[in-house]
Amino acid sequence: QVQLQESGPGLVKPSQTLSLTCTVSGGSISSGSYYWSWIRQPAGKGLEWIGRIYTSGSTNYNPSLKSRVTISVDTSKNQFSLKLSSVTAADTAVYYCARGGYDSSGTWGQGTLVTVSS
Amino acid sequence: AIRMTQSPSSFSASTGDRVTITCRASQGISSYLAWYQQKPGKAPKLLIYAASTLQSGVPSRFSGSGSGTDFTLTISCLQSEDFATYYCQQYYSYPSFGPGTKVDIK
C-alpha cells in the first residue's frame, strides 16, 4: 500500500523559498498513471489546491500561485517536491502531498506545518 | 475560475440521522466532483469521486449524486465517527475545493 510522507523546514523566513519533499513508499512514483499533488490548509481554514505533476512530468498549477510555484519529481529517490518562492505570512499552513487520478486524490500524507515568520 | 459553495456551512445532528450536504459549482462541471471527510488534525479522506462513485472501503451509508452544477452528499444513518468536516472538490478545471461543511454533535 502506497504511503506518502511530507518533509522539510517547519519555519521559513518571509521572502524566502519554501521547499518541501514528499517521499513515496510502497510503490514506485513512476509506475501507473497518477497525479502527484500538493494541497495546503491554513489553520482553521479550508483546503487550497496548489498544483500537481503527472507521471509523464507535465504540471498544472493553481493560477493564483502559478508565478511562485514549482513542482518536480525525482524518480531516483521516489520523491516529488514543492517550491514556493517569495513567501509571506499568508503562506503559513499545513501542507499535504497526495496521489490520485484526474478526478480525485485517494492517498494523502499526514501533512506538515510550515510557518512563515522572521 | 470555478467557485464552489457548500451549504450549510455547519450544522448539528444526532447519531442515526439522515444528513444531506449540498455543493454548488459556479459553472457546469459535468460529474467531475469528489467529496472528502476531514477530522481535526488529520488529512482529508476521499469518500466519493466522479460525483457518485464510492471510494473503496468507504461505508455504503455515504452516497453522492448530482451533475452539472448541483451536487449532494448524503449520509443515510449518521454514526459517531462521521462527525467531521466535509469538502467537495471539482476537477473540471484546475481543482478547487468548497469551503467545507462541519457536522457536529447535537
Determine how many CB atoms are found less than 10 A away from the CB of residue A86: 12
Give how far B33 is from chain A: nearest CA, Å: 7
Give how far A52 is from chain B: nearest CA, Å: 10
Determine how many CB atoms are found less than 10 A away from the CB of residue B72: 17
- Angstrom distance (rounded) from CA B25 to CA B50: 14
User: Is residue B86 packed enough to be buried (19+ CB in 10 Å), middle (13-18) or exposed (0-12)?
Assistant: buried
* Digitized pLDDT (tens) for each residue of chain A, 118 residues in all: 999 999 999 999 999 999 999 999 999 999 888 999 999 999 999 999 999 999 888 999 999 999 999 999 999 999 999 999 999 999 999 999 999 988 888 999 999 999 999 9
Which one, of A73, A63, A67, A61, lies nearest residue A24 by Cα? A73
Cell of A30: 513512476
> Judged by CB atoms within 8 Å, which residues 57-86 of B form the interface with A?
none
Give pLDDT tens digits for B7-64: 999 999 999 999 999 999 999 999 999 999 999 999 999 999 999 999 999 999 999 9
